[in-house]
């Protein structure tokens, strides 16, 4: 058949081919890790373009990270000789940013609106709390940030939030004040990007109609991790609800894996998959069952592990590859020793030519774990790169520099103003700033505008600061980005400040890196002189009939934007390179530009590893309380999310997988005595190779389950609450309904080591049943009932 002969389609199996060449219509591709979902999505775009079924401007593709978006664009350019630069491929945030830039007036935002990252957002909320005398013990700013973000994810403005009690009333008030503050300063947070662009589409029929007709093909990767608002946003772009039915124009193809849903804690809804099938009346669901990524030992581990979760949508994964190396398991006496072992193995891999450094990843559950691994890598002279954690664009010196740049773009950005008004120190004290903030609040203006109302020495210092910014702004006229940043670094006094600082050398280097980052941004995103905006009509096919005059007018005036650049629909003006770079810095905080090209070992959290693959993967800290995480262990839903996380981690590996745990760990200043993660007991023994003798874990401690419940004994010498005092299910793979344990919440029970205690919770059934019991002298513990012999006290 003709399509199969296209070179594009050569490296696809039958199901993948079917998915790539689906006729127009909505479809769900549901498949496990490494089965080629992302590849199918990318190839489908190429195929649509090649066969003339779509123009670049007619495609909208949502990826999970900026990195994934870039990769997709790079692959497309390699596959097809077309200009893919005008395509809307990006993250939800990136695409929303683009929409809002293009329609900032309609969205009620200034053209130069800036994006607040999570740190800025917290700072803004803290500032607000201080201004309004909010009791920060009762309403911790972090929780307020969380509250505001959750409201926005649910699509709720302050007026929409149901107020049940006084506390809620207060939170809603703060939410309202926060919104007003952001609006005044011309800044938006991540949640706002999403909600504002949703509202833009919802409230403007012409704009919505325009994009609905334009995007004939919407493709979404990692669909299982979309939240309610993102799904609603996609629905807006796809069509309108008419008489209770969604009437769509183009096709939506969603790709996902319910087993890899790992963002429920941030509002992701696996239920979006079912909703999608129902609301879009999806007729085609395609499953991909062949895994092309991993050897079968690795895959067997993944399959066996995830089979312990319930309510899965049910997919199988097989591989044609051989077993490969066994999965290696190592137990270390301490976290330090664990890190040393990992580094030693890495060096062996590199020395023997087994793997390149960039093909080796070390994954961990929590950011705090990276420090000890980093220091060992550093000592051993192994180059490494950390994703997340201390992100380049989030470092203090970089934030200072960006704040100056943001003030050049928008002097009313109070967050940036406060960040650098006295940095480097200019003798502007906290009292003066309080006065200034009062004045600004009184006049309802920005801090910048309130400066002129202050007199005396304080006023003079502030006026000098404002003048400095003005001078810098003038100096930036007509300059390229590199020059603008260079001049700002000098004029602001930042360079001098860090030069005089004994520990400033690193920071100076980072500031230099900022210039490099800007440079590579300019070249990558094409901010050269030749960046031209193509008119939309050139990208679109035949005119669409039945448009309202208003939408036609809008259509004609809507230009195609280059990536990174955005065109103001009113003036035709494009965003300045500086503004575009600042947007990029806020959106791409997770990507460490500085070391991007280096052959370095990759360190990241499991969350950050989604969608990626590496030849060799190390997963450290596989201990009860750490992975699975203690916050998620008390209920089945939490545990299952941890298991999905582990599934994601395992399936990143192509050739070699290393698992390790440590008996003790220094975390948050305490030595914790840890028990091996229950996940080890969910892996098939045949696929594993124990490098250290398999110590009794929670499954085998006290063989025959006789002295049950003794595992915690190892922990009892530890300082503070030990993570090891957590018990888990015995290693029984199949779920049998055991005899009833006869326990109830509230019952008083006796344990032969811990004495009498009260049952607080019961979870699981049969062999998996666990109870949480509060013992007056030993604290609260989870006990595996098949192991711990509890007797009910009459």
Under the binding rule (CB under 6 A), the answer on residue 109 touching ligand ATP is no
- Whether 506 sits among the annotated catalytic residues: the reply is no
Residues 38-57 that bind ligand ATP (CB under 6 A): 38-39
CB of 312 to ligand ATP, least distance (A): 15
CA-CA distance, 228 to 225, in Å (whole number)?
10
Q: Is 170 a known ligand-binding residue?
A: no
Nearest to 721 by CA among 625, 656, 629, 612: 625
Q: Is 528 a known ligand-binding residue?
A: no
Binding test (CB under 6 A) with ligand ATP, winner from 15, 19, 21, 37: 37
Longest dimension (CA), the chain: 85
> The tokens 């020059």 sit on which residue?
483
Nearer to Mg ion, 71 or 154 (CB): 71
Site map for Mg ion, 24-63, x if CB under 5 A? Answer: -------------xx-------------------------
Active-site residue, selected from the candidate residues 221, 338, 409, 555: 221
Residues 283-322 that bind ligand ATP (CB under 6 A): 292-293
Which listed range, 6-14, 322-330, 368-376, 747-755, lies at the site for ligand ATP (CB under 6 A)? Answer: 6-14
- Whether 118 sits among the annotated catalytic residues: the reply is no
- Characterize 343-369 residue by residue with b for buried, 16 or more Cβ atoms within 10 angstroms of its Cβ, and e for exposed: bebbeebbeeeebebbbbbbbbbebeb
- Number of Cβ within 10 Å of residue 776's Cβ equals 10
CB of 327 to ligand ATP, least distance (A): 18
Nearer to ligand ATP, 406 or 610 (CB): 610
Binding test (CB under 6 A) with ligand ATP, winner from 257, 642, 725, 767: 257
Nearest to 614 by CA among 356, 387, 389: 356
Q: Are 234 and 250 in contact (CB under 8 A)?
A: no
CA-CA distance, 215 to 464, in Å (whole number)?
50
CB of 611 to Mg ion, least distance (A): 4
Site map for ligand ATP, 505-524, x if CB under 6 A? Answer: --------------------
DSSP 154: T
Active-site residue, selected from the candidate residues 260, 319, 376, 432: 260
CB of 260 to ligand ATP, least distance (A): 6
**Angstrom distances, CA of residue 176 to CA of 171, 350, 727:** 9, 55, 45
CA-CA distance, 293 to 650, in Å (whole number)?
11
Q: Are 101 and 566 in contact (CB under 8 A)?
A: yes
- Whether 344 sits among the annotated catalytic residues: the reply is no
CA-CA distance, 589 to 117, in Å (whole number)?
8
Binding test (CB under 6 A) with ligand ATP, winner from 11, 457, 636, 744: 11
Residues 394-413 that bind ligand ATP (CB under 6 A): none
CB of 82 to ligand ATP, least distance (A): 21
Which residues are CB-neighbours of 285 under 8 A, at least 6 positions away?
Answer: 27, 28, 29, 30, 277
Nearest to 309 by CA among 733, 640, 763, 683: 640
Q: Is 36 a known ligand-binding residue?
A: yes
- Whether 38 sits among the annotated catalytic residues: the reply is yes
- Whether 501 sits among the annotated catalytic residues: the reply is no
Active-site residue, selected from the candidate residues 222, 258, 300, 335: 222
785 SS3 class: coil
Q: 625 exposed, middle or buried (CB, 10 Å; 0-12, 13-18, 19+)?
A: buried
Site map for Mg ion, 425-454, x if CB under 5 A? Answer: ------------------------------
Nearer to Mg ion, 234 or 675 (CB): 234
Binding test (CB under 6 A) with ligand ATP, winner from 611, 621, 712, 757: 611
- Whether 221 sits among the annotated catalytic residues: the reply is yes
CA-CA distance, 536 to 590, in Å (whole number)?
32
Which listed range, 28-36, 266-274, 581-589, 758-766, lies at the site for ligand ATP (CB under 6 A)? Answer: 28-36
Which residues are CB-neighbours of 691 under 8 A, at least 6 positions away?
Answer: 328, 329, 330
Site map for Mg ion, 559-598, x if CB under 5 A? Answer: ----------------------------------------
CB of 38 to Mg ion, least distance (A): 3
Q: Is 35 a known ligand-binding residue?
A: yes
Q: Are 123 and 217 in contact (CB under 8 A)?
A: no
Q: Is 37 a known ligand-binding residue?
A: yes
Q: Is 254 a known ligand-binding residue?
A: no
CB of 303 to Mg ion, least distance (A): 18
CA-CA distance, 587 to 130, in Å (whole number)?
28
Residue 781's binding partner out of Mg ion, ligand ATP, none, with CB under 5 to 8 Å set by partner kind: none
Residue 705's binding partner out of ligand ATP, Mg ion, none, with CB under 5 to 8 Å set by partner kind: none
Nearer to Mg ion, 38 or 435 (CB): 38
Q: Are 610 and 646 in contact (CB under 8 A)?
A: no
Q: Is 67 a known ligand-binding residue?
A: no
The distance in angstroms from the start CA to the end CA of the chain is 77
Residue 292's binding partner out of ligand ATP, Mg ion, none, with CB under 5 to 8 Å set by partner kind: ligand ATP
CB of 652 to ligand ATP, least distance (A): 7
Residue 628's binding partner out of Mg ion, ligand ATP, none, with CB under 5 to 8 Å set by partner kind: none
Which listed range, 36-44, 239-247, 562-570, 774-782, lies at the site for ligand ATP (CB under 6 A)? Answer: 36-44
> 61: number of CA atoms within 13 Å, CB side?
31
CB of 601 to ligand ATP, least distance (A): 20
CB of 320 to ligand ATP, least distance (A): 10
CA-CA distance, 64 to 62, in Å (whole number)?
7
Nearer to ligand ATP, 359 or 767 (CB): 359
Binding test (CB under 6 A) with ligand ATP, winner from 12, 48, 182, 653: 12
Q: Is 755 a known ligand-binding residue?
A: no
Which residues are CB-neighbours of 33 under 8 A, at least 6 positions away?
Answer: 257, 259, 260, 291, 293, 302, 317, 647, 648, 651
CA-CA distance, 41 to 535, in Å (whole number)?
27
Q: Are 212 and 252 in contact (CB under 8 A)?
A: no
- C-alpha 33: how far from chain center: 18
**The two structure tokens encoding residue 81:** 């000789």
**The two structure tokens encoding residue 114:** 């800036």
Active-site residue, selected from the candidate residues 235, 652, 656, 676: 652
Residues 609-628 that bind Mg ion (CB under 5 A): 611
- In the chain, % helix, strand, coil (3-state, to 5) comes to 45, 15, 35
Residue 36's binding partner out of Mg ion, ligand ATP, none, with CB under 5 to 8 Å set by partner kind: ligand ATP
Annotated binding residues, written as ranges, equal 31-38
Q: Known catalytic residues?
A: 37-38, 221-222, 260, 652
Annotated binding residues for ATP, written as ranges, equal 31-38
The site for Mg ion (CB under 5 A) is made up of 37-38, 611
The site for ligand ATP (CB under 6 A) is made up of 11-13, 16, 31, 33-39, 257, 260, 292-293, 611, 613, 651
């Amino acid at each position: 058949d003709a399509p199969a002969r296209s070179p594009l389609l050569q490296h696809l199996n039958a199901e993948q081919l079917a998915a790539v060449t689906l006729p127009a219509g909505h479809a769900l591709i549901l498949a496990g890790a490494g089965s080629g979902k992302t590849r199918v999505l990318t190839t489908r775009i190429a195929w649509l373009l090649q066969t003339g079924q779509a123009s670049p401007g007619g495609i909208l593709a949502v990826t999970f990270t900026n990195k994934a978006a870039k990769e997709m664009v790079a692959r497309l350019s390699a596959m097809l000789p077309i200009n893919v630069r005008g395509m809307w491929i990006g993250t939800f945030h990136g695409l929303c940013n683009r929409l809002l830039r293009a329609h900032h007036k309609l969205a009620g935002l200034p053209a130069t609106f800036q994006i607040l990252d999570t740190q800025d957002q917290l700072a803004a909320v803290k500032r607000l709390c201080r201004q309004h005398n909010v009791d920060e013990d009762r309403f911790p700013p972090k929780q307020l940030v969380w509250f505001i973000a959750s409201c926005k994810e649910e699509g709720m403005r302050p007026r929409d939030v149901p107020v049940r009690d006084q506390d809620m009333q207060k939170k809603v008030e703060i939410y309202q004040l926060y919104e007003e503050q952001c609006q005044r300063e011309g800044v938006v947070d991540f949640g706002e990007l999403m909600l504002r662009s949703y509202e833009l589409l919802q409230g403007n029929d012409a704009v919505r109609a325009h994009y609905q007709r334009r995007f004939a093909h919407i493709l979404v990767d990692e669909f299982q991790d979309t939240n309610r608002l993102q799904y609603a946003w996609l629905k807006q772009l796809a069509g309108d609800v008419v008489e209770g039915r969604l009437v769509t124009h183009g096709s939506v193809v969603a790709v996902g894996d319910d087993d890899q849903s790992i963002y429920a804690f941030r509002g992701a809804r696996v239920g979006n998959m079912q909703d999608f099938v129902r609301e879009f009346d999806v007729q085609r669901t395609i499953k991909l069952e062949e895994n092309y990524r991993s050897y079968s030992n690795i895959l067997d581990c993944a399959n066996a592990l995830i089979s312990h979760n319930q309510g899965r949508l049910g997919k199988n994964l097989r591989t044609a590859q051989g077993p490969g190396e066994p999965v290696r398991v190592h137990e270390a006496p301490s976290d330090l020793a664990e890190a040393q072992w990992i580094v030693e193995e890495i060096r062996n891999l590199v020395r023997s030519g087994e793997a390149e450094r960039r093909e080796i990843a070390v994954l961990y559950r929590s950011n705090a774990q990276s420090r000890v691994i980093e220091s060992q890598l550093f000592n051993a002279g192994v180059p490494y790169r950390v994703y997340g954690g201390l992100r380049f664009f989030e470092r203090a010196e970089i934030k200072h520099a960006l704040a100056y740049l943001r003030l050049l773009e928008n002097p009313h950005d109070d967050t940036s103003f406060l960040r650098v008004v006295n940095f480097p120190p200019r003798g502007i004290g906290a009292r003066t700033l309080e006065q200034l903030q009062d004045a600004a609040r009184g006049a309802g203006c920005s801090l910048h505008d309130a400066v002129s109302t202050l007199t005396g020495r304080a006023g003079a210092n502030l006026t000098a600061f404002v003048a400095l910014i003005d001078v810098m702004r003038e100096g930036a006229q007509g300059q390229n980005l590199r020059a603008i940043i260079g001049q700002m670094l000098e004029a602001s006094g930042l360079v001098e400040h860090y030069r005089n600082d004994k520990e400033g050398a690193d920071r100076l280097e980072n500031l230099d890196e900022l210039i490099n980052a800007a440079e590579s941004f300019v070249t990558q995103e094409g901010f050269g002189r030749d960046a031209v905006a193509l008119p939309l009509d050139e990208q679109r096919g035949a005119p669409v009939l039945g448009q309202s005059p208003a939408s036609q007018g809008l259509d004609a005036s809507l230009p195609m934007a280059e990536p990174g650049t955005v065109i103001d629909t009113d003036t035709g003006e494009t965003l300045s390179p500086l503004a575009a770079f600042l947007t990029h810095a806020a959106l791409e905080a997770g990507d460490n530009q500085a070391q991007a090209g280096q052959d370095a070992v990759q360190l990241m959290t499991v969350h950050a590893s989604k969608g990626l693959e590496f030849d060799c993967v190390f997963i450290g800290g596989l201990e009860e309380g750490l992975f699975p995480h203690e916050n998620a262990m008390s209920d089945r839903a939490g545990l299952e999310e941890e298991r999905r996380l582990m599934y994601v981690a395992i399936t990143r590996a192509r050739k070699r997988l290393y698992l390790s745990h440590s008996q003790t760990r220094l975390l948050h200043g305490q030595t914790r005595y840890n028990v091996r993660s229950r996940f080890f007991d969910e892996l098939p023994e045949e696929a594993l190779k124990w490098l250290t003798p398999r110590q009794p874990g929670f499954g085998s401690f006290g063989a025959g389950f006789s002295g049950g419940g003794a595992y915690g004994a190892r922990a009892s010498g530890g300082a503070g609450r030990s993570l090891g005092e957590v018990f888990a299910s015995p290693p029984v793979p199949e779920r049998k309904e055991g005899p009833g344990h006869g326990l109830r919440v509230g019952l008083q029970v006796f344990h032969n080591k811990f004495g009498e205690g009260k049952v607080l919770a019961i979870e699981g059934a049969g062999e998996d049943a666990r109870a949480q019991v509060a013992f007056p002298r030993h604290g609260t513990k989870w006990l595996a009932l098949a192991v711990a012999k509890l007797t009910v006290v009459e």
